[in-house]
Amino acid sequence: MIYEYTGNLHVHTSYSDGHATHDQIALAALKARLDFVVITDHNIWTGGYDGYRYLADRRVLLLTGEEIHDQAREPQKNHLLVFETHQELAPYAREPQRLINKVKGVGGLSFIAHPVDPAAPSIGEPDLSWADWDVHGFTGLEIWNYMSEFKSRLKSIPRAIFYAYNPTLTAMGPFPEVLERWDQLLADGKRVVAIGGSDAHATPIRKGPLFRVILPYEWLFKAVNTHVLTKDPLTGDAEHDRKRLFNNLERGNCFVGFDLPASTKGFRFTAQGDGSQAIMGETITARFGVTLQVKLPSRADILLLRNGEQIRQWEDSEAAVHTVIEPGAYRVEVYRFFQGKQRGWIFSNPIFVAN
């Protein structure tokens, strides 16, 4: 049996440039019906906050990571999300490869944050894209960052005001350049896990008589999330459950879902062949062919890709089946109409088919 847990992996508190406490963020996550939420303040690891929070019959597991970058670098680049280090590693930020090595050395996970992050000059926000692509050994990529996509829409002050009041019109999907980068890494044989995050700050903005909290926490927690799949349920013990979630995240047993148009809970991408089965993040052999199966929680358009190349498409479907014999990294993208446009809805991690 497979268990599914929905969470947000990129959130800031008032310890850095966010605008809420840990407990306030946990309450927003509870109201949004998340199962877990990870705090990733800039260059500060805050211990002592981890654990379950409760609201009526709901619980959410709050965990602490960090978003590390070299604050002295000009221009600013190379933000790295780190989890499960349980210590401050910001002093290693100057050299991204050294930082990645250190994270790995203490048993942590590292994800390149907002690999493409366009500047928004109209609101004074610089380009914070990742620059040092010669690094290796990182766990994965944040393929969909809601704040980065929001920034990309703010071409002028009027547009900034428009999207501040109409945030549901922001999201279209991961930037194509990020998906291309990920697919190239996968095609090169690298195991790179995809995650999605809100990059939540809940920044209050005043412009003359107008006042608005930009992308509130609870609202963002209903948008782009990472869904982690486990073969055993969470128990309610915080230490046990954190290890289970991060172990499965590291293996790529997860997918990115845009839960605002409709819940992505229940999406499954599996493989069967030669007497064995596999879920996202796992490897299966193709000696006699492998049958890939896709199941959606509701009807949408499904794309099946191998090493970044589309090989099949199904329109307005709830399920899809396709048999393959070629080795490669197979993944799924799902699109559906929302607010008058076709938008990205689900992005799976790959199943690896081997000879």
What are the chain's domains? 3-258 (3.20.20.140), 268-354 (2.60.40.10)
Taking phi over 0 as left and psi of -120 to 50 as alpha, with beta for the rest, 208 belongs to: left
- What pLDDT sits at residue 148? 95
State how far the Cα of 236 lies from the Cα of 201, in Å rounded to an integer.
28
Q: What is the 3-state secondary structure (H, E, C) of the chain?
A: CCEEEEEEEEECCCCCCCCCCHHHHHHHHHHCCCCEEEECCECCCCCCCCEEEEECCEEEEEEECEEECCCCCCCCCCCEEEECCCCCCHHHCCCHHHHHHHHHHCCCEEEECCCCCCCEHHHCECCCCCCCCCCCCCCEEEEEEHHHHHHHCCCCHHHHHHHHHCHHHCCCCCCHHHHHHHHHHHHCCCCCEEEEECCECCEEEEECCEEEEECCHHHHCCCEEEEEEECCCCCCCHHHHHHHHHHHHHHCCEEEEECCCCCCCCCEEEEEECCEEEECCCEEECCCCEEEEEEEEEEEEEEEEECCEEEEEEEEEEEEEEEECCCEEEEEEEEEEECCEEEEEEEECCEEEEC
- What pLDDT sits at residue 322? 97
The whole model's pTM is what? Answer: 0.96
State how far the Cα of 269 lies from the Cα of 264, in Å rounded to an integer.
12
Report the candidate in 8, 52, 66, 13 with the shortest Cα–Cα distance to residue 34: 8
Which phi and psi angles does 10 have, rounded to 5°? -145, 95
Is beta strand 109-112 parallel, antiparallel or unpaired with respect to 140-145?
parallel
Q: Determine whether 137 is exposed, middle or buried from the number of CB atoms within 10 Å of its CB (0-12, 13-18, 19+).
A: exposed
Q: Output the tens digit of pLDDT for each of the chain's 355 residues.
A: 899 999 999 999 999 989 999 999 999 999 999 999 999 999 999 989 999 999 999 999 999 999 999 998 988 899 999 999 999 999 999 999 999 999 999 999 999 999 999 998 888 889 999 999 999 999 999 999 999 999 999 888 888 888 888 999 999 999 999 999 999 999 999 999 999 999 999 888 887 787 888 899 999 999 999 999 999 999 999 999 999 999 999 999 999 999 999 999 999 999 999 889 999 999 999 888 999 999 999 999 999 999 999 999 999 999 999 999 999 999 999 999 999 999 999 999 999 999 8
Q: Determine whether 275 is exposed, middle or buried from the number of CB atoms within 10 Å of its CB (0-12, 13-18, 19+).
A: exposed
Q: Determine whether 272 is exposed, middle or buried from the number of CB atoms within 10 Å of its CB (0-12, 13-18, 19+).
A: middle
State how far the Cα of 125 lies from the Cα of 164, in Å rounded to an integer.
15
Q: Measured between alpha carbons, how far is residue 312 from residues 226, 292, 298 in Å?
A: 25, 11, 19
Q: How many CB atoms lie within 10 A of CB 127?
A: 17
- What pLDDT sits at residue 308? 95
